[in-house]
Structure 1
């Protein structure tokens, strides 16, 4: 665990150093200087209008995980481990769905900006159909192969049993993740 934590921190620090180096030496438009950064009130409002709800969502998700762990701990560390594994496995699938949704945003924004309502509706409908279909298929796969997915992370029979059940319950949300 200590080696994993060290690798995580080291990679984050190296990434930060490389980004700062690039901004300081190579970038013509981006800067790390507070004095050179000027953002208008309208843009600040738009940033906060998106950022604050996203922050609240992340904070609430953190509390939800903490509460889940608190209620699971009475059933033992295996239950907490099983839920952690199930949540990570489900998160991978959800991130794929969110990636599809984010990938469609520029196209949807372009069509919306062009004020082509008919094409806008077609693009949104197509995106929802693709994402919902893929999510449905991935949900079925998670239901069928839940024990095998959990076994990728942990081979303990009790954790696999509990984790598979938890993953099946969590996977129900997959269809909604990208919509």
Structure 2
């Protein structure tokens, strides 16, 4: 029980910190400019182990090594734990355009339709995600079509939550 609370606290604090940093927005540059509309989602997916190729240069690897240099040895251990063990969560952040609730989930696709996908995490949590207007699908760090999302596939999904509706904006297929 205590380990679960610690893990949940670390997850929330880590995601809040990462999203707080990315909420400032990505400046117009290389892949980040193309991904500016899903930069928060790309960062969150990178932190839970799904590389999309849309992360900006300061997200997981450089930020983790910079943190280790600032805070000393052993500080990267928490990030590695979160990266491997985060199943799902949400964090509310203040951005330039207002308050956003960013949600993330990793798991197995249990159903796919023309307008959404249902994902089940290993703890039994299931979420149905509607496809957003500007959904980006990535497979092997490259753009992919929604047809790459199949039942049984391992995915990472990130998007926005409005009430009870989760809208996928970025899906990474393993």
Q: TM-score, normalised by structure 1?
A: 0.28
Which structure's CA Rg is the greater one?
1
In terms of fraction of residues, the more helix-rich structure is 1
Bigger relative contact order, structure 1 or 2 (CA pairs below 8 A, ≥6 apart) = 1
